[in-house]
Amino acid sequence: MKLLSKLLLLALLVALPTSTLVAANTPKDKTDKEIMRKVDALMKKMTLREKIGQLIQLRPSEGDITGPDGEQLKVEDFIREGCCGSLLSVASPDEIMRFQRLAVDSSRLGIPLLFGHDVIHGCRIIFPENLGVSASWDVEAAERLARVSAEEAAAFGIAWTFSPMCDVSADPRWGRVSEGSGEDPYLGAAMARAMVRGYQGDDLSDPNTILACVKHFAAYGAPQGGRDYNTVDMSERMFRDRYLPPYRAAIDEGAATVMTSFNDFNAIPATGNKWLMRTVLRDELGFDGFVVTDYNAMHEMVAHGVAADGKEAAAMAFDAHVNMDMVDCDYLMYGEELVRERRVSEKTIDELCRAVLVAKFRLGLFDDPYRYGGDRYETAMYKSENLKIARDVARKSMVLLRNENDLLPLDGNERMALIGPFGDSGSEMLGSWSAFGEGDRSITFLEGLQERFGSENVAYTEGCKPLEQIEGGIDAAVAAANGADVVLLALGLPNKCSGEAASMTSIELPQPQLELLDAVAATGKPVAILLVTGRPMDITDEVGKVDAVLVTWHAGTMAGAALADVVSGDFNPSGRLTMTFPYDIGQVPIHYSMKRTGRPMPSPDARAKYLSRYLFTPNEPLYCFGYGLSYTTFDYSDLKVLTPEVKIGEPVRVSVKVTNSGKRDGDEVVQLYLHDKVASTTRPVRELKGFRKVALKAGESKVVEFTIQPEDMAFCRADMEFAQEPGDFDVWIGHDSNAPLHGGFTVKQDIRK
């Protein structure tokens, strides 16, 4: 090839934008054009080191950072040098203000810092853990949670939350199920969208909006063995059908940032996984914000064994177009060297830096670096209208699993004994990742019940600690039970058994609590378990010993008030499980949308040997996805498929009549499930493709209509296209994933195409 042609080709290659990053810096509108102009002007002044500095996120509260040659460096030094773009987990509004002033006044270009924090289910006011919020099946509730969180976080000085957590998971051994929206991609997607809306609103320049962060990309909820950080290995089809939808939904909703996950994904750690981070995230999903690693996840690629050292890890992350390095500083230590060695282009660094600066401009930080935090803090926290919202979300999240003899609601004349380690603990109501929640500001179960029923009607004794016995605890509990008409037994798992690095091989109640339960049940008094947990639990052996089970989750700041609302009947429980409660841990991972297999159960010949079953354990769970009781009853009838035959690309309309056949007004979560009877791949026996919360007065009926969109019937076909196929479909509508009321429709190939 002639020299001229080579030179022309070289010029072309150098000029080509790194395609997958261009979207991140393409102006959306006139305002954005102005922002891009300002960003370009600022970047012209920046050194390469200062551009890399914007890609560094540090955490001051974990002590000093070790510099390139090992000396202890203070965060302040990084900020002064313009080598820090963001701080996370700064503990107070004053500290945030101090660091911001340092950045603006003492660094060469005065670029404001971006403050991030895990405000995932509240900031000061703590809402139920997200698994509980998803059990409300109330996307408006999720959006309100995020709005209140954003208002308090912004007043605290935080402009970026590491939320929503969009990891689908069917494995309750994994402690982080508490942070997500359960096992179903369709519900998870709806919740993710709602939370992005809540955090970001429709204008990031509004001082009460904050950046959302879609995490943990990707498929972090499927670690082998349910063990946190463990290997994730699945087919691309499984990923696209079951795990991708909530991430995609949050990004479609405009989430400004994404966080990489700790896990490897099909043998390449997410943080250095070009297929995930460029092909899928940027090229396919069109993500145009910026990507931050999870905590130290870049350097952990050395431990994963795919990078020999921090420099190689940085090179992999740059190549995956990861913008920001959370706390390990590999970008800062090796970025300039990698550019000198032409292993990463300065153009890539420019694009990665530009996306971070664009986000800061969109937040208005360059107009006013102190718009977040400051004196707003004093008036924004614990507002009464926000506490009311937290109470409403908490009571809507609670799931009534058992209620023999209609033990609940209580009529208020009963002498109550509240017993158990979670009966009077404000801190244990907060769950994991409780941001700046304050346990002593929480309303405990005891406080809520005494407020509602009168102190004289509610006695309390702890009985045992969450994980250990108390001397004389059981005797005191038995005495309290004998002196009462009804026992409320607050059992479950403490905060530390929820969230990150909290995997468990048993999801049963801890032994001291089982002993307490047996002793109290032996009194013969009616007992309701109040189950405080951030995950499904194996309570198969316990449910038969008590009359009622109410899953309260870790219900947050307003836990006691919300509990009293439910126990008194002031609020009729409407929560429905979004994660299966297994019959036995041996069934895990278990979820409702399994495949049929070639030897399906149930079988006409239940005694047949060669079926997909266990020898001594049922296939069915203890409580299925979508399950939850009410103080009333709901009947379903007249399922009508209004469009029994459609063409590919056309919606399907179905209706059903729902009747409140009981004596109390209540909310029902009407759920619609589909099954593609014959397809080019095996398909789940059921998939949630619609839900609606419906308020019905006692005796009232309503016709509920659903429109199933074509994209809701799409899947990753045998040809790997994500699209619909013609064929016959089952449709069920009802109370949970076992709904029996059935209809069918056919999707025809559109022969004109």
C-alpha span between 275 and 484 (Å, rounded): 62
Token output for 466: 């969450």
State the residue for tokens 């891009």: 36
Nearer of residues 120 and 487 to ligand GLC, judged by Cβ = 120
Cβ-based nearer residue to ligand GLC, 113 or 481: 113
Which amino acid is it at 456? Answer: E
Closest distance of CB 63 from ligand GLC, Å: 15
Cα–Cα distance for residue pair 707/110, rounded to 1 Å: 53
User: Which residue number has the CB closest to ligand GLC?
Assistant: 162
DSSP string for 56-105: EEE-GGG-PEE-TTS-EE-HHHHHHTT--SEEE----HHHHHHHHHHHHH
| 295 is a contact residue toward ligand GLC (CB under 6 A) | yes
**Span 495-514, contacts to ligand GLC by CB under 6 A:** 500
**C-alpha of 99 from chain center:** 30
Question: Of 167, 184, 228, 294, which lies in the binding site for ligand GLC, with binding defined by CB under 6 A?
Answer: 294
Rank residues 295 and 636 by Cβ distance to ligand GLC and give the closer one. Answer: 295
Q: State in angstroms the smallest separation of the CB of 80 from ligand GLC.
A: 24
Q: How far is CA 715 from CA 259, 674, 707, 708, in A?
A: 25, 12, 18, 14
- Is the Cβ of residue 118 or residue 183 nearer to ligand GLC in the bound state? 118
Count the neighbouring beta carbons within 10 Å of the beta carbon of residue 417.
28
CB atoms within 10 A of CB 399: 24
What is the bridge-based pairing of β-strands 652-660 and 701-708? Answer: antiparallel
In angstroms, give the least distance from the CB of 146 to ligand GLC.
15
CB-based burial label for 121 (10 Å; 0-12, 13-18, 19+)? buried
What does residue 34 show for φ and ψ, rounded to 5 degrees? -65, -40
Q: Please tell me whether residue 299 binds ligand GLC under the rule CB under 6 A.
A: no
Nearest Cα neighbor of 516 from 418, 584, 642 is 418
- Rounded CA separation 400/71 (Å): 56
Q: How far is the CB of 693 from ligand GLC (least distance, A)?
A: 29
Q: What's the closest the beta carbon of residue 215 comes to ligand GLC, in angstroms? A: 6
Residue closer to ligand GLC, measured from CB, 25 or 86: 86
Per CB under 6 A, contacts with ligand GLC among 151-170 are 162
Between 88 and 381, name the residue whose CB sits nearer to ligand GLC. 88
Site for ligand GLC in 518-577 (CB under 6 A): none
Q: Does 228 bind ligand GLC (CB under 6 A)?
A: no
Report the alpha-carbon distance of residue 246 to residue 563 in Å, rounded.
30
For 496, the token pair is 């530390």
Task: Count residues near ligand GLC (CB under 6 A).
Answer: 7
State the Cα angle at 460 between 458 and 461, rounded to 5°.
Answer: 160
Q: Cite the beta strand spans of 274-334 per DSSP E.
A: 290-292, 325-326
As measured in angstroms, the least distance from the Cβ of 505 to ligand GLC is: 21
**Cβ of residue 300: shortest distance to ligand GLC, in angstroms?**
11
Q: Residue 294 catalytic?
A: yes
Supply the minimum distance, in Å, between the C-beta of residue 136 and ligand GLC: 22
Cβ pair 717, 680 in contact under 8 A: yes
Cβ proximity to ligand GLC: between 435 and 481 the closer is 435
Of 215, 311, 395, 683, which lies in the binding site for ligand GLC, with binding defined by CB under 6 A?
215
CB atoms within 10 A of CB 289: 25
Looking at residues 86 to 105 of the shown chain, list those that interact with ligand GLC (rule: CB under 6 A).
88
What do you get for the CA distance between the two ends of the chain, in Å? 46
C-alpha span between 674 and 728 (Å, rounded): 10
Closest separation in Å from C-beta 121 to ligand GLC = 12
Question: Rounded to whole angstroms, how far apart are CA atoms 310 and 330?
Answer: 5
What is the radius of gyration, based on Cα positions, of the chain? 27
Cβ nearer to ligand GLC, comparing 165 with 333: 165
Inter-residue long-range contacts of 377-382, CB under 8 Å, 24+ positions, other chains counted: 377/93, 377/155, 377/156, 377/157, 379/155, 380/151, 380/152, 380/154, 380/155, 380/156, 381/123, 381/124, 381/125, 381/152, 381/155, 381/156, 382/124, 382/125, 382/441
* Options 294, 328, 424, 565, the catalytic residue: 294
- How many Å apart are CA 314 and CA 310, to the nearest integer? 6
Listed in sequence order, the residues at least 6 apart from 585 whose beta carbon sits closer than 8 Å to its beta carbon are 173, 505, 506, 507, 508, 538
Question: Measured from the CB of residue 711, what is the shortest distance to ligand GLC in angstroms?
Answer: 29
Residue 326: CB minimum distance to ligand GLC, A = 7
Q: Is there binding between residue 129 and ligand GLC (CB under 6 A)?
A: no
Q: Which is nearer to ligand GLC, 215 or 554 (CB)?
A: 215
Q: What share of the chain is helix, strand, coil (3-state, %, to 5)?
A: 35, 20, 45
Residue 656, H or E segment = strand 652-660
Q: How far is the CB of 297 from ligand GLC (least distance, A)?
A: 8
The span from the CA of 688 to the CA of 463, in Å, is: 41
Applying CB under 6 A, among 50, 118, 288, 687 the residue interacting with ligand GLC is 118
Nearer to ligand GLC, 534 or 626 (CB): 534
The number of beta carbons lying within 10 Å of the beta carbon of residue 57 is 27
| 233 vs 399: CA distance, rounded Å | 33
Which amino acid would we find at residue 36?
Answer: M
Alpha carbon separation from 332 to 220, 343, 364, 588, 708 (Å, rounded): 27, 15, 26, 42, 49
User: Which CB sits closer to ligand GLC, 326 or 622?
Assistant: 326
Rounded Cα–Cα distance for residues 116 and 211 (Å) = 9
* Residue number, 151 or 328, with CB nearest to ligand GLC: 328
Of the pair 232, 567, the CB lying nearest ligand GLC is at 232
Output the CA torsion sign for 584, 590, 592, 596.
negative
Query: Nearest distance from residue 498's CB to ligand GLC, in Å?
Result: 13
The catalytic residues are 294
Binding site for ligand GLC (CB under 6 A): 88, 118, 162, 215, 294-295, 500
